[in-house]
Each structure stands twice: as structure tokens, then as C-alpha cells.
Amino acid sequence: MHWLELEGAANARDVGGLPTEDGGTIAPRRLLRSDNLQGLTPRDVKVLVEDLGLTTVVDLRGTPEVTQEGPGPLRSVESVRHHHFSVLPESGTATDAAAEDVGDALYASRRQRTLERFPDDVMTALYLGYLEDRPDSIVGALRTIAAAPGAALVHCAAGKDRTGVVTAFALTVAGVRREAVIADYAASGERIRAILDRLRASPTYAPDLDKRPDDEDHRPKPKTMELFLTEVGNRYGGVLRWLEAHNFGEADAAALRSKLRED
């Protein structure tokens, strides 16, 4: 895994190089992950498209976010295809920028359901909600990554929660060591201040973030991903079994492994 030093994104990285259980590695320039792409500069676009071979963007933001933010710079690049897979229930105005803080009237019941899912850790509970609410989007995102002719980039707003879950599933299917999956998830914490500063500058995300002003509240913790993966195992038999139950079979898994792993 290495950071992509983009001018208009704070949490962009290539997961290439992560080790697999059988001694292999994830290939570089296959799967990228990032926070919001609205601020990309012409230089950033050149780096992503020409240097890294980006052909596919997987956007995990909700429809309200996509609508309010408008088209980003990559939308004008004909060679890049965009695919929208919200992992949030498509109602109301929630952006998920403040993660578990879903306190507006339309989302009060969602917060209660979130806490009931896993009272010991609200972030783990939130991530389990992605699986319950939008399994179609999780599966669709993974199939899109597997089918990308070049590099695929997965992003949301902060690039840590929704992107973290989808990336963790992709890496797990590819056979990446669990400790490496967790470390990749937690790496977003290294740049949490820059991530949040960018989001606070956006009218779309500032109201949610103002409800939780302490940057430390947003920093991803290794134990959260550890708890999440453990709970997926306890409830569903693991990532692969959950995917199988949602029609992501062995052929799909093989295609994703082939896409992500070194030859």
C-alpha cells in the first residue's frame, strides 16, 4: 500500500503490495481508494488516468451527496466510467460524513437500529448496516472492480468507512492477510485532519461534521475493523459466505482475485 500524493484529495492510496495468505501480493495499479474526488486538479486527473491507468470509478456516496456536490473533474474524461453504488438507505439527506451521527428526524430510527445491531461498538454496528441495508451495492461494487479494464478507484466522502468496508471485502476475497486488511483500513487515520478539513469546507458535509467537531471521534481504529470482520464471521460464516448468500459466487470471487493479485 502506498499513498497517492494528489493535490485535491487527502486520503488516496493504492492498495498494491499488500500480502496475501499464500505468500502472494496485491498488484499495483489495480485497486485505488480515496476520499471525495470533487477537488481533483488537472494534475491529479493526469496522474490517475495516464500514470495509474484509471478506467473505473466506484462511487459509494448517497444520491443526496452526488446531487449536492455535482459532477467532479473525472466526469469529463471519456475513458473513465463511473458507477454509483450507495451503501446507505436512499432516503433523507444523510451524507454519512459523521458516520454514526444520523440524528435528523428521518434517520432517528436508523440510529436506533444501528445501536441494536452491535451495542459494543457503534462503528461496527454501522458497517453491519451497510451489509443489511444495501447488499446489492456491496456486490455490485465488487463486480465492477473485477470487471474494470484498468485501475478501479473506490471512494466515498472521507474514504474511510464506506470505502473501508468495500475495500476490506475486496481484499479478503483476494486472500489478503487479515492483519494487512485491518492496517489498510486504519491507515486513513494518518491523514484524518486533512480529510476532515476538506469535508468541512464543503456545504454538503459541514453540517454533519459540526455535530462531532473532535477529529479523534472520526479516526478509524484497528479494533473496529477487527470487530467487524469477526462479527461477519459470527453472523454469516465470513465474507465469502456472506457474498455467496447474495449471489456473488465462486466465479465472481475468482474474477476478483484474478483482477487484484499479481500474476
Q: Report how far residue 240's alpha carbon sits from residue 62's, in angstroms, rounded to the nearest whole number.
A: 25
pLDDT at 98 over 70: no
pLDDT digits (tens, 9 = 90+) for 7-56: 999 999 999 999 999 999 999 999 999 999 999 999 999 999 999 999 99
Burial 137-175 (b: 16+ CB within 10 A, else e): bbbbbbbbbbebeebbbbbbbbbbbbbbbbbbbbbbbbb
Average pLDDT, the chain: 92
Number of H helices, E strands in the chain: 12, 6
Query: If pLDDT is split at 50, 70 and 90, which confidence band does 100 have?
Result: very low
Instruction: List the chain domain ranges.
Output: 2-258
Query: If pLDDT is split at 50, 70 and 90, which confidence band does 96 have?
Result: low
Q: What percent of the chain has pLDDT over 90?
A: 81
What kind of fold does domain 2-258 have according to CATH? Answer: Protein-Tyrosine Phosphatase; Chain A (3.90.190)
State the pTM of this model.
0.92
Q: Which amino acid is at 153?
A: L
